[in-house]
Amino acid sequence: GENVEQHPSTLSVQEGDSAVIKCTYSDSASNYFPWYKQELGKRPQLIIDIRSNVGEKKDQRIAVTLNKTAKHFSLHITETQPEDSAVYFCAASNYGQNFVFGPGTRLSVLP
Amino acid sequence: NAGVTQTPKFRILKIGQSMTLQCTQDMNHNYMYWYRQDPGMGLKLIYYSVGAGITDKGEVPNGYNVSRSTTEDFPLRLELAAPSQTSVYFCASSLTSGGSYEQYFGPGTRLTVT
């Protein structure tokens, strides 16, 4: 079955700096890769996603890149703000079925 | 739209008891999912459904059962609760048309088994 690894497990950056979180997956059949943000005690919220037929997607300060050959995808947050502090999860899925999540990255943005 | 709703919000069970976690969505989504999230960990898929009458196992299905008799409802049944089932349970739904698989999560049910 699919296996998703995520690094780093914790990340601290200064406000205004960039943050990068990386994930790898094992199943070449996976074709949908979302990123979720989860604040303490809240439900996960989708922040950006990418399909396997696209190499990069950007939404304001957030971008995701996908390398299908190497089976890895990354989340990039630029100009970080204190409200970006949260736990971020990557996931992989085959046509919206059988989602497998990474273990999460705790991002702290220091003022 | 209320989105995805879950009941109850909190529950304490004794070992060996059974219960059903309710999940309802009013967005006419075809796919629905149940996840558990242990403290400090990622989400683990328990079961999912691609439509009424169709369910399939996820990563951690043991100790749970589901049914999907309507598009709106996807209850999760715990039989013979065990301390290892102490977790936060999230239900989610998605509308898989136009190539979008975006999941909408419910607020979660915090379950403690003692």
pLDDT tens-digit profile of B15-38? 999 999 999 999 999 999 999 999
| Calculated CA dihedral for residues B100, B51, B57, B74, nearest 10 degrees | 100
3-class SS of residue B99? coil
Q: Reduced to 3 states, what is the DSSP secondary structure of residue A84?
A: helix
Q: Do A95 and B96 touch (CB under 8 A)?
A: yes
Alpha-helical runs (H) found in A1-111: none
pLDDT digits (tens, 9 = 90+) for A62-91: 999 999 999 999 999 999 999 999 999 999
User: Locate tokens 């497998």: which residue?
Assistant: A100
Query: Quick one: tokens of B71?
Result: 């598009």
Residue A42 has pLDDT above 80, yes or no: yes
What are the chain A neighbours of B101 within 8 Å (beta carbons)? 32, 34, 49, 93, 95-96
Q: What is the pLDDT of residue A54?
A: 86
Q: What is the dihedral of CA A109, A85, A10, A54, to 10 degrees?
A: -110
Residue A16 to residue A4: CA distance in whole angstroms? 29
- Pairwise CB contact (< 8 Å): B42 & A96: no
Whether residues A34 and B108 touch (CB distance < 8 A) is answered with: no
Handedness of CA B88, A23, A18, A13 (dihedral sign): positive
Q: Is A53 on the interface with B (CB under 8 A)?
A: no
Tokens 């459904």 belong to B49
pLDDT at position B40 is 87
Q: Does A34 touch chain B (CB under 8 A)?
A: yes
Q: Is B94–A96 a contact, with Cβ atoms under 8 angstroms apart? A: yes
A110 touches A13 (CB < 8 A): yes
Our CA-based measurement puts residue A37 at a distance from the nearest CA of chain B, in whole angstroms, of 11
* Contact (CB, 8 A) for B18 and B75: no
pLDDT at B95: 87
Hey, what amino acid is at B79?
Answer: E
Name the minimum distance, in Å, from the CA of B45 to any CA of chain A: 7
Largest CA distance in chain A: 41
Report DSSP letters for A32-53, one per residue. Answer: EEEEEEE-TTS--EEEEEEETT
Q: From the list A6, A97, A104, which residue is nearest B50 (CB)?
A: A97
Please give the Cα distance from B7 to B95 (Å, whole number).
22
* Residue type (1 letter), A11: L
Q: Are B95 and B29 in contact (CB under 8 A)?
A: yes
Q: Where are the beta strands (DSSP E) in B26-96?
A: 31-37, 43-51, 54-57, 64-66, 76-78, 87-94
- How many angstroms from the chain centroid is the CA of residue B64? 10
Give yes or no for B64 touching A (CB within 8 A): no
pLDDT greater than 90 at residue B1: no
